Amino acid sequence: MDTILSGMQPTGQLHLGNYEGALKNWANLQDSYNMFLCIVDWHALTAEYDKTADLKENVFQMAVDFLAGGLDPDKCAIFIQSEVKEHAELHLLLSMLTTVPTLTRLPTYIEKKEQKGLDSYGFLGYPVLQAADILLYNAHKVPVGKDQEKHIWLASDLAKRFNNTYGKTFNEPSVLLTKFPTILGSDNRKMSKSLNNHIAIEDTEEETEKKLKRFFTDPTKVRKNDPGHPEECPVYLLHQIYTGGHEDIVAPCKSGELGCVDCKKRLTKNLNETVAPIREKRKKLVEKPDYVIDVLKEGARKARVRASAVMEKVRENMKMVYYK
């Protein structure tokens, strides 16, 4: 069975975009792969090293979301990155094989540097730490969205160069591109927590209703009878996911028969119904924190078994075992 590794930063509430874009896909893969899912707390520090007060809660809530979203701890190891210290060791070793321009050319680096004014040494090394996450488990496949593709290529390139330099040690991992429509938020931009345009998994039905009422709609459809353009409307995008037979939205929207208020009401109902089982499960899990923590402990134990075996091979191949 091939191995998969993926990771997510514990930056707060998971939203529908995270669920549709990552979590649901992981849950579908867990039967066919040996899976490692890493809550990357060290990566979260690269952007906000001074904001550690919420980290513990965010990590816990992320584990809850993973479990509520259908990940089965018997099938995959869910663990916290910093609980497996080998991530740091391999990051250091891989950093020796990485040139600075390789990192400064990456679009993710350029974008965030501009947006957030980040320029720390730790932030520069973000993709090298990510490569360490992947190679440490000798992962074959890494399920990520398009924006992360270059990071996986870097990991694969590092594996190849490491193997050429020190002898065959790592698999060369490849991207398992997650194809999903980008979910847009209330302001018609990509749904994201930092833009505060999201619907969180943990939102109540009433909060969801309130948020949807404020959602951006086709600006040319001002009154009910105006013809709408569903293909340009983030509400229709959500209908595509949550409303079976969503085609009966398109024609009446276009003709003007269906107004935005009614359209949103239908979406609210369908969305809440679809997400209800996840929210239910979530509530139960939050009441059993000991169980959630046990899942993380067991996940870290499984991860360590694999990571320590790979690291032994790394040290051996690098001729850095000094005595037995």
Residues of the shown chain interacting with ligand TRP in the complex, contacts defined by CB under 6 A: 5-9, 40, 43, 130, 133-134, 142, 144, 148
Cβ atoms of 218 and 185 within 8 Å: the answer is no
Distance between CA 211 and CA 12 in Å, rounded? 18
Cβ atoms of 145 and 21 within 8 Å: the answer is yes
Give 159's contacts (C-beta < 8 A, 6+ positions apart): 131, 135, 169, 170, 171, 172, 173
Q: Least CB distance from residue 126 to ligand TRP, whole Å?
A: 7
Concerning whether 113 is annotated as a catalytic residue, the answer is: no
Q: Which is nearer to ligand TRP, 25 or 130 (CB)?
A: 130
Give 320's contacts (C-beta < 8 A, 6+ positions apart): none
Q: Which is nearer to ligand TRP, 43 or 246 (CB)?
A: 43
Distance between CA 1 and CA 246 in Å, rounded? 38
Q: Which is nearer to ligand TRP, 144 or 275 (CB)?
A: 144
Query: Active site residue: 75, 113, 150, 193, which one?
Result: 193
Residue number closest to ligand TRP, CB atom: 7
With vertex at residue 80, the alpha carbon angle to CA 76 and CA 119, rounded to the nearest 5 degrees, is 130
β-strands 174-177, 141-144: how paired? Answer: parallel
Cβ atoms of 175 and 6 within 8 Å: the answer is no
Residue 80's SS3 state is strand
Q: Least CB distance from residue 57 to ligand TRP, whole Å?
A: 19
Q: How far is CA 136 from CA 17, 89, 156, in A?
A: 28, 10, 12
Q: Which is nearer to ligand TRP, 32 or 240 (CB)?
A: 32
Query: Active site residue: 190, 211, 269, 313, which one?
Result: 190
Q: Which is nearer to ligand TRP, 78 or 258 (CB)?
A: 78
Q: Least CB distance from residue 293 to ligand TRP, whole Å?
A: 22
The candidate with the shortest Cα–Cα distance to 39, out of 10, 17, 60, is: 10
Q: Least CB distance from residue 7 to ligand TRP, whole Å?
A: 3
Q: Least CB distance from residue 151 to ligand TRP, whole Å?
A: 6
44: its two tokens: 């979260």
Kind and range of the H or E run holding 5: strand 3-8
Concerning whether 112 is annotated as a catalytic residue, the answer is: yes
Q: Least CB distance from residue 269 to ligand TRP, whole Å?
A: 32
Helices then strands, each counted (H, E), the chain? 15, 5
Query: Active site residue: 24, 75, 112, 269, which one?
Result: 112
142: its two tokens: 């890494």
Q: Which is nearer to ligand TRP, 98 or 217 (CB)?
A: 98
Concerning whether 190 is annotated as a catalytic residue, the answer is: yes
> Catalytic residues, which ones?
112, 190, 193
